[in-house]
Chain A
């Protein structure tokens, strides 16, 4: 009993700390336009920056402005070549760029990823006998892409161990090209560079 009394204040303090730390856990909605950055890995803010830069650059490039003033060219998007060591869903980068370009009203896109579903649906319309044949979609009527959009994502990672800190520097470069399929000419190209730095104290986890 005497021991309990002796350590009462200490135990009480421990209880208060435990209660306070238990109260810290929470789940809440964040802001998708301002996603927090915790490390140097490729993140949502990087994706958003790349999509914004590439869209602005393509839409304001004078020869492209001239072309899109006259017509809405058809573009096909190739998957981004991920040359980083990270597993990145690069399709979401091109999805964001494609969505922004479509919504600008300046371009039209072909979607290769849904070709198998398209073929199945055309076959269904033609073979099942349920669809009016005058309205049924036909094979060989789709428009051809005039341009192809290709991209590369590369990274350079550097690490430095200091006495107090561990420093990591990550450099990303996203390069995008618009190639004319008939002439083979690159009509537009641009790149976005992103640098991320992280400093972690060595003796604190």
Chain B
């Protein structure tokens, strides 16, 4: 009886272990670049930062430039990425736009856009704010499903 229990435990571990490893691999987190253009009275204040939520994505991809400008009164974002791998890798990106109070604008209106980065390639992605109330943006980048 004890022997059967031991065998069953072994089988359970053998089944569960690969499943646990596989589920750990599929992370929806990636890297996030952000920029804000706030009119503070004494001119436009510009701030930007990059957050790494998934070291695996950050090992292969780097945000090298975040450029923001107003065209008319619409916030435009240009984000430049560089692949640190020599192989081809698939990613997705999504822009999110925020007003001056930090409230997200049209949260459901932006979809994940797939893209491919070839070895050591540099690519720039442009996003336009949904409307003139946008003063900040974020770009989220993650591995393609």
The minimal Cβ–Cβ distance linking B22 to chain A, given in whole angstroms, is 16
Q: Does B54 contact A (CB under 8 A)?
A: no
Q: Does A15 contact B (CB under 8 A)?
A: no
Q: Does B85 contact A (CB under 8 A)?
A: no
Determine which of B74, B76, B110 lies in contact with A33 in the assembled complex, contact meaning CB atoms within 8 Å.
B110
Pairwise interchain contact A100-B130, C-beta atoms closer than 8 A: yes
With an 8 Å Cβ cutoff, the count of chain B residues facing the other chain is 22
Pairwise interchain contact A48-B131, C-beta atoms closer than 8 A: no
Q: Does A14 contact B (CB under 8 A)?
A: no
Give bound CA distance, A32 to B74, whole Å: 26
Query: For residues 31 through 47 of chain A, which have their beta carbon under 8 Å from a beta carbon of chain B?
Result: 32-34, 36, 45
Task: Collect the chain A residues with CB atoms within 8 Å of residue B127's CB.
Answer: 52, 56
Pairwise interchain contact B72-A33, C-beta atoms closer than 8 A: no
Query: For residues 22 through 75 of chain B, which have their beta carbon under 8 Å from a beta carbon of chain A?
Result: 71-74
Task: Collect the chain B residues with CB atoms within 8 Å of residue A60's CB.
Answer: 71, 74, 76, 126, 128
Determine which of A36, A49, A65 lies in contact with B113 in the assembled complex, contact meaning CB atoms within 8 Å.
A49
Known: A33-B94, A45-B111, A60-B126. A105 touches B132 (CB 8 A): yes
Known: A48-B111, A69-B72, A106-B72. A56 touches B126 (CB 8 A): yes
Give bound CA distance, A103 to B107, whole Å: 13
Chain A binding surface SS class: helix
Top 8 closest A-B pairs, CB basis?
A48-B111, A56-B128, A33-B111, A34-B112, A65-B72, A59-B128, A65-B71, A69-B72
Give the interface of A toward B (CB within 8 A): 32-34, 36, 45, 48-49, 52, 55-56, 59-60, 62, 65, 68-69, 100, 103-106
Supply 29 A–B pairs (Cβ within 8 Å), ascending by A: A32-B108, A33-B108, A33-B110, A33-B111, A34-B92, A34-B112, A34-B145, A45-B111, A45-B112, A45-B114, A48-B111, A49-B111, A49-B114, A59-B71, A59-B74, A59-B128, A60-B126, A62-B71, A65-B71, A65-B72, A65-B74, A69-B73, A100-B109, A100-B130, A104-B130, A104-B131, A105-B131, A105-B132, A106-B72
